[in-house]
Structure 1
Amino acid sequence: MRITAADKSLGTGPDKAEHWPVPRRQAWFAFVMAFLLMMFDYMDRQVVVSMFPALKAEWGLSDKELGALTAAVSITVAVFAFPIALLADRWSRVKSIVVMATIWSLATIACGLSRSYGQLLASRAVIGLGEAGYGAAGGALLTSMFPAARRATVVGGFLAAAVVGSVLGVALGGFITARWGWQAAFGLVGVPGLVLALLFLLVRDYRTVPLTDPEARRLGVRGVLRGLLGPRTALICYAGGALQLLTVSTVYVWLPSYLNRFHGLPTDRAGLMTALVLVLGSVGIVLWGYVADRVGDTNPQRKLMVPSACLVVASLLLSTGFGLMQPSSLQFVVIAAGGFMMTAASGTVPAAAIDVIHPGLRATAGAMVAVVQNLFGLAAGPLITGVLSDAFGLVTALSVMSFFCLASAAVLMLGTRVYPAELNAARTLAAMTMRSD
């Protein structure tokens, strides 16, 4: 039997399970634009880590002060992610993204003009203000355009841009700092974001989804929080994702300094080797998100088992590499392998959290993930590591932080018991909402 394009769009043929809410070209254009903006978002965020040796030498900073330069971004993201994403849910995802990208790009350029540690720290905090709701709004926009069966893969691909941007930020930061100084690096990575912000106006937004069920209809702080914190799967994903990111953020922020201090590498080479680990992490996000989608397609309970198993392996590899091995090529291979495994939850966990939340709170659910993960993961990881490093040395700090992957795996395994039932409940509510329109 011949299947026409119309049949596919109506969901009457073999592709019914992959019904596309919008034309595929429109969906993929939105994905490319969102991916590029996320990439520059994290270039602006991560470019500073390769500058640590230069900043430490120029201003005599402690490891705690260096860690605060990354924590400042994550803290402001955590503080403002929820209200900004709620505004995006009720106003416009596209317009919100344009405003946010403009703010963080200008703040990055301002970092290069800083003349003191205080000015640099303040400018870094403003970067976080701009980035606060982007991941949530971008993720919500993409999940509205792609089939549900591809959601974790698409979200994983979108979030993989964060690692690609981190790769480029770390590599370029080290390269430019070694040749022209750290001020130039901020300017060169800040300008492209302004261009992409304007181009993002070409992306089509989805219609704001009304909150029609009795609980969500109350809106207000209490009603929204009930919708976001009610599902146990969501709570588990918030906590498990934050624990994972304590390790991930530590490795990404402090590996260049570790390679500089203990392998004796200059900033450009340390940045390139760290970039390789970040590339492996990016591949891991997409690969393990795809695997989780496939094994969870027939049995949703298995969806969270995939990142749990990967995080156990990551913890063993990283704790062995940093804690038991001397600096060498083999040690770096072990650390890189751990970097490939430690990002396994980065795509699946946000997707699973969004899966069990009311469809009218998608961006806000993504913001809740961002709040918890940024405050208790991305901000806390580098700062805790800096404090431990000042007290006990960087090697001990990195070894200790590796075990948070193990804790994340234990938390996510709890989610396998409740996710299937809550997923079915959310799908039923979404179907009722669509029929009522």
Structure 2
Amino acid sequence: MDAHCIEPATGNFSVAPAVPRTYAWVVFALTFGLLLSDYMSRQVLNAVFPLLKSAWGLSDTRLGSLSGVVALIVGLLTFPLSVIADRWGRVRGIVAMAAVWSLATLGCALATNFGEMLVARAFVGLGEAAYGSVGVALILSIFPMHLRSTLTAAFMAGGAFGSVLGMSLGGVVAVHLGWRWSFGTMALLGILLTAAFWLVVTEKRICSDHRNAHERRPNGQGVCSSLRMLVAGLFSTISVVCAYVGSGLQLFILGSLFVWMPSFLNRYYGLAPDKAGAGAAMFVMIGAVGMVLCGIVTDRVSQTVPARKWGTAIAYCLISFTLLLIGFHVKPGALQLVLIGVGMLVVAGTSGPAGAMVANLTPSTIHASAFATLTLANNLLGLAPGPFVTGVVADRVGLLGALQWIPLMALLAAVAFAIGRSNYSNDLRRLDALRRAAKKS
């Protein structure tokens, strides 16, 4: 592809789409339901780790790779598949993606060895790769602009709820019916939701409304930039690169804990897989709530001084490092669980500040691509390698020893954010000068 065409993220167009309100909310409900299915299919594996380890004699390295391969594929393919879906049709793209991850989850249920499971999990990642970006784009295209922030936040929160449901329900089903039925249940749910979405949501109706809205846009709002200019905008400053890197490194910890908490509770607290999955789901919820709370705190303290966002990101890194390091070194018991829980509350707090910094440091016309790049960094630096590396270390020093090591990643993330903060003011001045020069020309 020689060029990348982008529409500005902001503009004067404020005409509400012509989709009937009831129909729009039905579309939202089905799209949100598929998001739940997305994360349930992804995270159910974590709940059955103990059973898979026993059934196939898998090492922790192999268990970690079964989880990490999904995030790896998502990270690699999010951007290109989002572009394809925009050109092919978002509704058709969503149906195809949901069908792929649902059938791949069924393949996990039918797998007879590690190799087959790994391939099936890779196809789960293939189906899920672009769903987040395409799903939210579809939702925003059929609702008025004044609801965009609310709908985006609600849609993204579905990932945490899906993770909780996947681990808790998957653990219960595995104990009573076997681990294969855990995957089979998630696959069946996905297939049913895909069929409902395909029957109710039509490309013709969505596209006609989107096309009518597009035709009412003022001339000149579309912006086409070459691939070179796009890349230059995405990586124009040291500080924006530090925001990408810092965010990804910090999510290394979150990705590891999401995947390995059920096994940790099973091995060191003697909980059965269903209870371990439910317990781990509570920690996932704490992490999700922490994202929101830390974002609110960051906005409050940086309201008059935007540069303070860097300081809050560094603080979240150092607090999570301290709490989790101590938490995994104390003896199993109530104190350990409290320390881990509070650590989980702030460990993903950097997500909000990192997103805000990326938005401040990139042109508004490429914000969609900028956030796709941030997603890429989050997956390739954090969510994909985190579970795998933790598994590799666990095979050598035990799972507890591995979990005692991973908080150190927060120090590296803090260093990245500190470097970004030191360059932030100069980078903003340089970008401002470039914008003024562009206007004059």
Please tell me the TM-score bracket, short chain as reference.
0.7 to 0.9
Task: Find the counterpart in structure 2 of residue 9 from structure 1.
Answer: none
Q: 1:138 to 1:424 in 2, by over 3 A?
A: farther
Q: 1:334 to 1:143 in 2, by over 3 A?
A: farther
Post-superposition CA distance 1:315-369 (Å, at most 9, x none): 11111111x2011122111111111111212344345434544455444333322
- Note if 1:366 corresponds to 2:368: no
Q: 1:56 aligns with which of 53, 57, 67?
A: 53
Given that residues 237 and 427 in structure 2 are in contact (C-alpha distance below 8 angstroms), is that contact kept between their aligned partners in structure 1?
no
Task: Find the counterpart in structure 1 of residue 243 from structure 2.
Answer: 237
Between the aligned partners of 1:295 and 1:177, the Cα distance in structure 2 is 45
Given that residues 34 and 138 in structure 1 are in contact (C-alpha distance below 8 angstroms), is that contact kept between their aligned partners in structure 2?
yes
Task: Find the counterpart in structure 2 of residue 287 from structure 1.
Answer: 293
Local SS of the residue matching 1:98: helix
- Note if 1:307 corresponds to 2:313: yes
Post-superposition CA distance 1:125-167 (Å, at most 9, x none): 001111112233345566776879985x765544332222111
Q: 1:21 to 1:131 in 2, by over 3 A?
A: farther
Given that residues 101 and 131 in structure 1 are in contact (C-alpha distance below 8 angstroms), is that contact kept between their aligned partners in structure 2?
yes
Q: Which moved more, 1:224-233 or 1:250-259?
A: 224-233
Task: Find the counterpart in structure 1 of residue 104 from structure 2.
Answer: 107
Post-superposition CA distance 1:235-280 (Å, at most 9, x none): 2222112111110011111111111111111111111111110111
Q: 2:190 aligns with which of 190, 193, 197?
A: 193
Given that residues 255 and 382 in structure 2 are in contact (C-alpha distance below 8 angstroms), is that contact kept between their aligned partners in structure 1?
yes
Q: Which moved more, 1:36-45 or 1:111-120?
A: 36-45
Q: Could you list the runs of 5+ residues in structure 2 that have no partner in the other structure?
A: 1-11
Given that residues 149 and 293 in structure 1 are in contact (C-alpha distance below 8 angstroms), is that contact kept between their aligned partners in structure 2?
no
Matching residue's letter, 2:400 = V
Between the aligned partners of 1:21 and 1:411, the Cα distance in structure 2 is 42
Post-superposition CA distance 1:89-145 (Å, at most 9, x none): 555445433332222122112211112211111010001111112233345566776
Task: Find the counterpart in structure 2 of residue 265 from structure 1.
Answer: 271
- 1:393-412 alignment runs, 5 A limit: 393-412=398-417
Q: Could you list the runs of 5+ residues in structure 1 that have no partner in the other structure?
A: 1-17
Matching residue's letter, 1:137 = V
Local SS of the residue matching 1:402: helix
TM-score (structure 1 length as normaliser): 0.81
Matching residue's letter, 1:193 = G
Task: Find the counterpart in structure 1 of residue 131 from structure 2.
Answer: 134
Task: Find the counterpart in structure 2 of residue 13 from structure 1.
Answer: none
Between the aligned partners of 2:390 and 2:147, the Cα distance in structure 1 is 38
- Note if 1:122 corresponds to 2:119: yes
TM-score (structure 2 length as normaliser): 0.80
Task: Find the counterpart in structure 1 of residue 95 from structure 2.
Answer: 98
Identity score, percent: 37
Matching residue's letter, 1:279 = M
Between the aligned partners of 2:56 and 2:99, the Cα distance in structure 1 is 29
Local SS of the residue matching 1:299: coil
Local SS of the residue matching 2:271: coil
Matching residue's letter, 1:225 = V
Q: 1:120 to 1:92 in 2, by over 3 A?
A: same
- 1:178-257 alignment runs, 5 A limit: 178-197=175-194, 198-199=196-197, 201=201, 204=206, 217-220=224-227, 222-257=228-263
Between the aligned partners of 1:179 and 1:406, the Cα distance in structure 2 is 42
Q: 1:20 to 1:187 in 2, by over 3 A?
A: farther
Q: 1:387 to 1:353 in 2, by over 3 A?
A: same
- 1:336-415 alignment runs, 5 A limit: 336-350=341-355, 352-354=357-359, 356-415=361-420
Shift of 1:41: 1.4
Given that residues 13 and 218 in structure 2 are in contact (C-alpha distance below 8 angstroms), is that contact kept between their aligned partners in structure 1?
no
Between the aligned partners of 2:171 and 2:71, the Cα distance in structure 1 is 22
Matching residue's letter, 2:258 = Y
Between the aligned partners of 1:211 and 1:403, the Cα distance in structure 2 is 51
Q: Which moved more, 1:133-142 or 1:382-391?
A: 133-142
Q: Which moved more, 1:235-244 or 1:341-350?
A: 341-350
Between the aligned partners of 1:339 and 1:128, the Cα distance in structure 2 is 25
Between the aligned partners of 2:147 and 2:298, the Cα distance in structure 1 is 11
